[in-house]
Amino acid sequence: MIISRRGLYRLALGSAALLGLQGTTGKAHAQALRSTGPLSNSDFEPLGGQPPQGAQPSIEDFDYQIKYQRAFEAALWAMPALAIYRFRAAALEDLGLRDNDIIAYSGVATAKLEATTANASTPYITAFTDLQNGPTVLEVPPAGEDGSLYGQVVDAWQYTIADVGPSGLDKGKGGKYIFTPPGYEGEIPEGYLHVPSPNYRVAFAFRSVRGPGMTEADAYAYAKRLRMYSLSQDGNPPEQVFYDPIDTRYPTMPLWGLAHFENLHAIMTVEPVKPEDKQIMGMLATLGIRHGEPFAPDDVAKRAMTQASYDVWFYMQNWYDNFPKDKLYWPDRHYASLLQADDNKTFTWTYEDRVDTIERAAEYFWCTYMPQVLSDNPATQYMMAMADSNGAPLEAGATYRLDVPADMPVDQFWALTVYDRATMGFIYTSEDRTTLSSYDLSTMEQNPDGGVSIWVGPKAPEGKQANWIPTSGKRPLPAMRLYGPTEAFNNRSFKLPDFERVS
């Protein structure tokens, strides 16, 4: 066997482990080779190709490990789709509704609306459709003194495909929106606002905003001017079905555990697969989730998916416990905007070189129905209290006070809502109070400067019941909403005081 000098050098590098030279550089290897003299063929080992001597596997059950890892990443990746899926599933399964029926609240929501960071200041309206049955028409009334709509229409990934109302496609003039399925090539009726959807399932959520001097009853009446039906019924639309769940549990929150992946299968077996998602779809196939096929996980996959789902919930809680300081709204306060957009000021986290699944999951973990683009001067701002004035996380069982100044920078109104930090939803309490707002000032005790102090905790301080939001022992997540924030808020010259712990 003839070995060139160069070949002998390369082979010597591969035999470093036998020579006890694992930590030396290539130059040192060459020096060692010259000092050891000629080698026989039995001493040769390839350079690389296997772990170093002494390495051991860290796990024994590779089948479970690979399925767990893929399930964990898939749950993060699918967070936006899983969150919006539950809204439609609960409407059909728990409320007994059908696609194109419209849910319209006759008043502001209570804790029976089990939804992520919903508001309790304006009545909600929502509906769902399935474009597998063909295009759908949504008739929107014009905005005026009797009311207006604010909200979004989203696809199955919860990406906004249309804003509606004065800031939307209709510019407050109302009209007929038409939503068409992927690949639709039919004619679009003249004068309709065409919104092609990249997915089949579509959902909308609007707020019925009261006009000056109008009541909740007026907002409800305005909402009932909406119409939603199939394009095939355009000439003779059916009577619109409205459902008021004001006294009914509407459980829209994601289900954790194996149900998390059963829901994921129900989404992925129907919706088109985007090119950037094919790798994840390959991972899901390992778990028994394939496009257009029945849900068929084996026992190991079921166990892995269940635990991975739980761990994603714990991971998201930990993510918010360690919220990035550079994302706080004011550097010397402890508030974060509910709307944490991506680098493009949108909410997809899809870039030319990557999809950021962690930050996307974090946003959709605590928020639903985002706008298409986050403007520099949003019509509504949401400040989430991430810690108290000392920077300590808010705790279950503790009592806190927020001093709301008299000169709040809003053109419309402000509202403080307190959520359960575990679910990001309303807290069930015997008082059934989730929110206090500037609409309640006449019934609240005011401070000498015209501001108000609001207490948040399991029990009201003596004599402060009117200024108290109960937490029922839950860990609180307070949210200050500002409707019509002024320039002082948007340019951050105004700063909201932090929550003070009082017990």
Side chain identity, residue 330: W
Determine if the pTM surpasses 0.75: yes
Domains plus CATH for the chain?
A: 1-56 (no CATH), 65-77+255-321 (1.10.3360.10), 95-248 (2.60.40.1610), 376-501 (2.60.120.600)
pLDDT category of residue 3 using cuts at 50, 70 and 90: very low
Residues 295-344 pLDDT 10s: 999 999 999 999 999 999 999 999 999 999 999 999 999 999 999 999 99
CB 151 within 8 A of CB 208: no
pLDDT category of residue 250 using cuts at 50, 70 and 90: very high
How far apart, in whole angstroms, are the C-alpha atoms of residue 193 and residue 174?
Answer: 10
How far apart, in whole angstroms, are the C-alpha atoms of residue 179 and residue 184?
Answer: 10
Tell me, what's the pLDDT at 214? 86
Report the 10 Å Cβ neighbour count for 154.
Answer: 26
Residues 86-116 pLDDT 10s: 999 999 999 999 999 999 999 999 999 999 9
How far apart, in whole angstroms, are the C-alpha atoms of residue 226 and residue 240?
Answer: 8
- φ/ψ of 441, rounded to 5, equals -60, -35
CB 478 within 8 A of CB 385: yes
**400 Cβ contact partners less than 8 Å away, ≥ 6 residues apart:** 388, 394, 455, 456, 457, 476, 478, 499, 500, 501, 502
User: Average of pLDDT values for 225-241?
Assistant: 97
Residue 26 has pLDDT above 70, yes or no: no
Residues 408-452 pLDDT 10s: 999 989 999 999 999 999 999 999 999 999 999 999 999 999 999
User: Average of pLDDT values for 20-32?
Assistant: 49
Smallest CA-to-CA distance from 262 within 416, 125, 93, 103 is with 93
Share of the chain above pLDDT 70, in %: 91
Looking at 44-48, 58-62, 94-98, 403-407, which range is the least confident one? Answer: 44-48
With 0-12 / 13-18 / 19 or more C-beta atoms within 10 angstroms meaning exposed / middle / buried, residue 279 is: exposed
User: Average of pLDDT values for 253-269?
Assistant: 97
Residues 402-417 pLDDT 10s: 999 999 999 989 999 9
Residue 202 has pLDDT above 90, yes or no: yes
